[in-house]
Structure 1
Amino acid sequence: MPALRTTLLFVTLFPETFYVLASTLSSEGNKGNPVFLAVSGGKLCLYCEMDKKKGRPTLQLKKKDISQLHASNTTDLKGFTFYRKKMSKCWNTLESAAHQGWFISTCHVNEHVRMTDKPGTQELVDFAFVPVSSAHTGPSEVSE
């Protein structure tokens, strides 16, 4: 199944082209639709893992092709899975399946996205997905 190209608008940041693919994990209750997320032409996947030093989940980029996650022998698909929940007509939240209650967030211009367990404070967790007909290379794209 091909990944859907979409621009994920981080409210205070420049738009970034993301690739979105339905996850093979089942949805839990009212969490939303489980999805995989990737950048760099679908070759770098977002992954949420526990940072043992900090004692909190962190967001990582793993060199893995999003289209291969369905057939992957990766035992920890939960780390690659985020629950995309529609909050309003165009806004969504992205909650980690591996670390429930932790959301992808941003706060200030030119800061990296990160994970938070305090949505709605200074952390912005609402994102808009805008389908694009042809993805272009963005500032974070990797060239070989």
Structure 2
Amino acid sequence: MSANLQEGMEKAGGDEVPSGGVRPALEYPWHCRLTDINHKILILQNDHLIASPPNSNASEVVFDIYPNRGIMGNVIFIGFNGRVLSCVESGGGPPQLKAVPGNIKEMYNEVNEFRSSTFFRKPGGKETYSLESAAFPGWFISTSPEPNKPVGLSRQGATEITEFYMARI
């Protein structure tokens, strides 16, 4: 994550909740790009998030990020274009990552847990983070090592990539 996004999250109480139990309010989300450690960008294609090489002709998704004020810890909501990233059950299989209609500003203002749309932001490498589902502990936002595959959820240690750079715009 870029230093300025980290600094902004710390100023807004991104890592700790004040003694009153509620983080200070933000007027606007942080806008950022997410790229995996192989530098694939995230694009929207046919209503699915896809991890694509940076030289593709598609437009990179710019994400809106708010801290989740309803859960203690380093937790965030991730949204874009009137959608919210959410983790859902998949009929007995592993959980799935979906971009569902929603407004993260309203979720942020409501000060509720919203576990299915909440991600723990965990330090990875020097400048990278893993994004763990609050609803499905042990499952992380991930990309395939191969280009042009859907973004999903996986466990760490599998072949999928679970570390991302977060660059504030």
Quickly name the TM-score band, shorter chain normalised. 0.7 to 0.9
- Greater helix content: 2
- CA–CA separation in structure 2 for the residues paired with 1:63 and 1:122: 30
Provide the secondary structure at the position in 2 that maps to 1:69: helix
Aligned length: 123
Q: Note the C-alpha offset of 1:76.
A: 6.6
Give yes or no for contact 2:86–2:118 (8 Å, CA) kept in 1.
Answer: yes
Greater shift in the superposed pair: 3-12 or 106-115: 3-12
Which segments of 5 or more consecutive residues in structure 2 lack a partner in the other structure?
A: 1-25, 43-60
Q: Percent identity?
A: 26
Equivalences for residues 71-86 of structure 1 within 5 A: 71-72=109-110, 77-86=114-123
Distance 1:61 1:76, change over 3 A: farther
Q: What is the root-mean-square deviation in Å for CA atoms of aligned residues?
A: 1.9
Amino acid at match of 1:3: P
Q: Is 1:90 paired with 2:127?
A: yes
Aligned to 1:8, which of 8, 16, 34? 34
Equivalences for residues 34-45 of structure 1 within 5 A: 34-40=75-81, 43-45=82-84
TM-score (norm. length: structure 1) = 0.77
- CA–CA separation in structure 2 for the residues paired with 1:51 and 1:72: 27
Aligned to 1:51, which of 79, 90, 110? 90
- CA–CA separation in structure 2 for the residues paired with 1:103 and 1:94: 5
Residues 60-86 of structure 1 show CA distances to partners (whole Å, capped at 9, x for unaligned) of 11111111112459x770001000112
Give yes or no for contact 1:25–1:78 (8 Å, CA) kept in 2.
Answer: no
Which segments of 5 or more consecutive residues in structure 1 lack a partner in the other structure?
A: 133-144
- Structure 1 outlier segments of 4+, above 3 Å: none
Q: Is 1:127 paired with 2:164?
A: yes
Q: Is 1:60 paired with 2:60?
A: no
